[in-house]
Amino acid sequence: MTYLILCLVFLAIAAAVLAFALAMQSDRRALIVRWCVPIAVATVALLVLTAIFDNVMIASGLMTYQNATTSGVRIGLAPVEDFAYPLAGVMLLPALWLIFGRQRTRG
């Protein structure tokens, strides 16, 4: 199994959980509008931090990747597949918040 296939599995699971969480919501449009900017900011921050720290860790020799198991596309020294995990996190955390979050009472 290649690293890309493993990452696609994680992304598919995260997307499915997010779709389920959104389907459970009664006012999806308002929710998406309200969360759009914070999730976009979090996504950019996580991708930038991933690019920086993955490159530092690879350059220092903390981790290595075999070319046969990656797609070959890199951002600096980091394989593009490394960016799937922050994307999965950005999808999963809000989804889990929606599914398991406390119900607010209006009063």
- Read off the DSSP letter of residue 73: -
Q: Are 25 and 97 in contact (CB under 8 A)?
A: no
**Residues 15-59 pLDDT 10s:** 999 999 989 888 888 888 888 899 999 999 999 999 999 999 999
Mean pLDDT of the chain: 89
Place of tokens 């799937």: 84
- Residue 87 in tokens: 């994307």
Domain ranges of the chain: 3-100
pTM, rounded to two decimals = 0.81
